[in-house]
Amino acid sequence: MTQPYTFYDAKGSAEIVVNRVPKTGGGRVWVRGRYSEEVQPSPLDVRVGRGIKVWELIRDLRSVNNDINALLALHAPHIDAGDVEAAVKYFDSYAAEIERKIAEELAVA
């Protein structure tokens, strides 16, 4: 049995569900599982690139003072510039929940 994946467009709307996908980036956000407009995953589970969660990427982007090249170096070869752009756009739609998660993580560290 294969694991389904759901990809999202820049507005966070379910775009396509596929059963097999190479996680190689390409500037789209995705999540494991089959979702629709009516049933959405937690924004904390949505990923970019080869599996980095959006909230983690946003946290790390801030840690390098929004320097995309430094972020790409930190996560090479698992993300590309398109993945960073997709993560930022997705973050814009779910900022409150992602901000809470980042704050929780930083409080524990």
* The pLDDT value given to residue 38: 72
Measured in whole angstroms, the distance separating CA 40 from the mean position of its chain's CA atoms is: 14
0.85 exceeded by the pTM?
no
* The pLDDT value given to residue 15: 58
DSSP letter at 45 equals: G
**100 Cβ partners below 8 Å, 6+ apart?**
none
Angle at 23 between CA 41 and CA 27, to 5 degrees: 75
Question: Element (H or E) spanning 53, and its range?
Answer: strand 52-53
Residue ranges of domains in the chain: 5-108
- Phi first, then psi: give them for residue 25, nearest 5 degrees: 90, -140
What's the pLDDT tens digit per position in 49-101? 888 999 999 999 999 999 999 999 999 999 999 899 989 988 998 999 999 99
* The pLDDT value given to residue 63: 96
* The pLDDT value given to residue 100: 96
What's the pLDDT tens digit per position in 17-58? 555 554 555 667 777 777 776 777 888 999 988 889 999 999
Higher pLDDT, 14 or 37: 37
Contact yes or no for 48/57 (Cβ under 8 A): yes
* The pLDDT value given to residue 91: 93
* The pLDDT value given to residue 19: 56
Residue 29 CB neighbours (<10 A) = 26
* The pLDDT value given to residue 14: 56
